[in-house]
Amino acid sequence: MNRIIILGAGYAGMTTAMSLAARTRRRQDVHITLVNPQRRFTERLRLHQVASGQQLADLQIPELMAGTGIEFVEGWVTAVDATAHTVRIDDERTLPYDTLVYALGSVADTETVPGVDDHAHTLTNAASAHALAATLGRLDPGATVVVGGSGLTGVEAAAEIAEQHPDLTVLLLGRAEPGSMMGARAQAYLLAALERLGVRVRAGAEIAKVLPGGVELAGGEHIGADAVLWTTGTRVSPLAAAAGLTVDERGRIVTGDRLRSVSHPDVYAIGDAAAIRQSYGVIHGTCQSGMPTGAYTAAAIAAELKGRQAEPFRFGYLHQPVSLGRHDAVIQFTRPDDTPGRFLLTGRSAVFYKETVSSAPWGVFGRVRKYGAGMTALWRKGGRSTKIT
């Protein structure tokens, strides 16, 4: 029996599990196990909506996988023994594997800046997003919410909070100008949308400390806040390093060109937990890159089971989709290396596009379950991207 364990049921892990099950459904010698701490799927693409007080669909992982033959194990992974080929769960169970897919993702970095862990909210998971929603619901009109980090997560969160809570003052603080990775037209649209929503933006501001009643900037300036949301920086679990796998300076598993650990080839590393190098650099963790790594890994494992070897993994970015509340958005289309291209979408068309992208995983998973593995080519084909069929 080929025992395949997938750790983590985020976008990358779920894509791997569903696609691999479709590719091996006629085989009796393959057993797929998916391990995750909770039964409900976390839509990380929509956590800013949860944080603003909106309710999302209740997506239960066992229901999404019904009829696939995948075994679901609910529990926290506490250790990986890469020598013995076992995974330990928090209830003291030990699961043996022949092939391991490491897709444990990342969480908000609350350790680098003092006070973040004690005094700031994050969008790490559904529980943290719900906690912020509860806090926002208790604030008096005119209260100030500081969003730390001017990346796209911070922009989406600030816009969503400002739209859902127009009686609050939302201040977006960051070292870079919001939308700085976009083209000039897309960035101008983004900034105008934030202004329309009443979001105050302050670029060139580095938060040095988070305090009970606000934040302290690097120059010593104090900014009062009734709530702080931290959206800058991520970190990964130390489990991979503790298991002896080769990791980079951020603790991500270093992979070869087929997404196998360079030190332990029976371990595939995907999504945010992996340092996957392409010609333009190491890909950054997003759903846009995570799902293709999962689809590729499923195809690679299925090929290996047939005695073949998959082509090297190649990935090119397509877009930078940014929601600006529920009624506006901007989509910057990109070159494969994620630099801005010529084209963009704004307004209603962009909202439709962004909602389609955010809802895509469930349509994809459904098609994989119904039609099989041929539906898993999710990203740019040809050029610098691997084609999976």
Report pLDDT for 204. 95
Look at residue 306 in the predicted model and tell me its pLDDT: 95
Tokens in use for 79?
Answer: 């250790």
Mode of pairing for the β-strands spanning 77-81 and 86-89: antiparallel
User: Residue 148 is which amino acid?
Assistant: G
2-37+75-105+237-317+359-375 and 116-230 share one fold: yes
Long-range contacts (CB closer than 8 Å, 24 or more residues apart) made by 123-132: 123/44, 123/47, 123/48, 123/51, 123/153, 123/157, 123/229, 123/231, 125/42, 125/47, 126/40, 126/42, 126/47, 126/50, 128/47, 129/47, 129/48, 129/50, 129/51, 130/50, 130/51, 132/51, 132/227, 132/229
Cα–Cα distance for residue pair 163/100, rounded to 1 Å: 43
Place of tokens 């700031």: 120
Of the candidate CATH numbers 3.90.850.10, 3.40.190.10, 3.20.20.300, 3.50.50.60, the domain formed by 116-230 belongs to 3.50.50.60
**pTM of the full structure:** 0.92
Domain boundaries, the chain: 2-37+75-105+237-317+359-375, 116-230
- Asked whether the beta carbons of 48 and 30 are under 8 A apart, the reply is no
Amino acid 366: pLDDT: 53
The CATH architecture annotation of domain 2-37+75-105+237-317+359-375 reads: 3-Layer(bba) Sandwich (3.50)
Tokens of 108: 């908000």
pLDDT attached to residue 33: 98
Average pLDDT across each block of 10 residues of the chain; the chain has 389 residues. List them in order: 96 96 95 97 94 93 95 97 97 95 95 96 95 98 97 97 98 97 98 98 96 96 98 94 97 97 98 95 88 96 96 96 97 96 97 87 53 42 54
| Structure confidence at residue 205 (pLDDT) | 95
Q: How many CA atoms lie within 13 A of 87 on its CB side?
A: 26
- The pLDDT value recorded for residue 383 is 44
Q: Which residues contact 175 (CB under 8 A, 6 or more apart)?
A: 150, 203, 204, 205, 206
